[in-house]
A = this chain, B = another copy of it.
Amino acid sequence: MKDLTEMLKGVLEGVVLQKIHAGETYGYEITKYLNELGFEDIVEGTVYTILVRIEKKGLVDIEKKKSELGPARKFYKLNVKGEEELKGFWKRWAFIEEKMNVIREQKDV
């Protein structure tokens, strides 16, 4: 799917938070997951900038673990603040989704 970039703003961070919420994970894995899911154009750099951001916001706990296949992995886990942020994200999403349905059905007055 093309021209998704702008629509992903404010959404992609929430997606990453949800993925981390679903189970301790790391950047490379998140990228692969998003690619398989259908977001084919999302590259590592994009994911890593988001990870740096959510770390700075203090939403995650981090643990470094050795990998058998390459450099060490940085595992991310949502902390309490991160879980709160994720809840807020889904609330905002639900709001937008609802309004979009109203707008789409809107007829000329």
Using CB atoms and an 8 Å cutoff, list the residues of chain A in contact with chain B.
1, 3-11, 15, 18-19, 22-23, 37-39, 88, 90-93, 95-97, 99-100, 102-104, 106-109
Protomer copies = 2
A7-B96, A37-B102, A93-B100 given; 8 more Cβ-contact pairs under 8 Å: A1-B92, A7-B11, A7-B92, A15-B100, A22-B108, A23-B108, A23-B109, A38-B99
* Residues of B contacting A106 in the complex (Cβ-Cβ under 8 angstroms): 18-19, 22
User: Could you name 18 residue pairs across A and B whose Cβ atoms are closer than 8 Å?
Assistant: A3-B92, A4-B92, A4-B95, A4-B96, A6-B9, A6-B10, A7-B10, A7-B11, A11-B96, A11-B100, A18-B103, A19-B103, A22-B108, A23-B108, A37-B103, A38-B95, A39-B99, A93-B100
- Distance in Å from the Cβ of A23 to the closest Cβ of chain B? 4
Closest to A13 in B: B6
